[in-house]
Amino acid sequence: MLDLTRIKAITLDLDDTLWPVWPTIKRAEAVLADWLARHAPATGAFWAEPVQRHALREHVNQSHPALMHDLSALRREFIRLALERCGDDTRLADPAFEVFYAERNRVTLFDDAQPALAILASRFPLVALSNGNADIGRIGLGRYFKAALSASQFGVGKPDARIFHAAADAAGVPSDAVLHVGDDAALDVLAALDCGMQTIWVNRAGLPWAHDALPHQTVATLAELCGVLAA
């Protein structure tokens, strides 16, 4: 069970905790494909073939293991290599990425997300902690957070303990005074437990828990999280 007296700050996952990520990525992919079809037709035709596109993406991932934490860098290199192989201007990689990235940051929040952020931010310093490349400033949520750490900026991602401890430092508290909130059982809950943090698993889908170590609390919504912390 949670020890509410210990909680001095909250670290918060983003993708699939504050918004559903895959509808966002799917829409961003479609916007990018449309842009390439208009500005780099040969690459656009290549991009329209899923088998070819997925094979190239796998090649990029395997060729750049040092970038696996940096989804923006991987995406930009993926686009650049597609342009190069199709004979289009590789200088289009940056504007093409920006088209994708702008749409990637046009998220649809879960209904409970913004009200919960307002409540939580009024009581605790909040630090965004994500392996994704969302930008809380561009999304319009920056005012709720004291800081934001992403794997691409920090150099390693969850479950590496260093990014959790860095998030605690950004909040200005020791790690054992942090409550980490997230949807991923391994990357959020188990990793934060290993760092001495308290944890809340956001389980919107009602999935079974499949690990020996347990979260301190499980909630189905962020509204429920606020209720737990107000108890």
Last residue within a domain, chosen from 104, 126, 142: 104
pLDDT, tens digit (0-9, with 9 covering 90-100), for 128-148? 999 999 999 999 999 999 999
Number of domains in the chain: 2
For residues 118 and 18, give the distance between their C-alpha atoms in angstroms, rounded to a whole number.
13
User: What number of other Cβ atoms are within 10 A of residue 23's Cβ?
Assistant: 11
Kindly state whether residues 30 and 118 are assigned to the same domain: no
Q: Please indicate, yes or no, whether residues 125 and 206 belong to a single structural domain of this protein.
A: yes
CATH value at residue 34 = 1.20.120.1600
Same structural domain, 80 and 186: no
Gyration radius (Cα) of the chain, Å: 19
**Quick check: 231 pLDDT over 90?**
no
DSSP run (H or E) holding 180: strand 178-182
Same-domain check for residues 77 and 125: no
Bond into 159 cis (ω within 30): yes
SS3 217: strand
pTM summary value: 0.93
The strands making up 217-219's β-sheet, listed across from edge to edge, are 147-150, 126-130, 9-12, 178-182, 198-202, 217-219
Residue 164 and residue 1 in contact, taking contact as beta carbons nearer than 8 Å: no
The string of pLDDT tens digits covering residues 86-126 is: 999 999 999 999 999 999 999 999 999 999 999 999 999 99
**Mind listing the pLDDT tens digit for each residue in 205-223?**
999 999 999 999 999 999 9
Range of the domain at 137: 4-19+109-230
Q: What is the CATH classification number for the domain harbouring 158?
A: 3.40.50.1000
Q: Are residues 114 and 196 in the same domain?
A: yes
Over the stretch 26-79, which tens digit does the pLDDT of each residue have?
A: 999 999 999 999 999 999 999 999 999 999 999 999 999 988 899 999 999 999
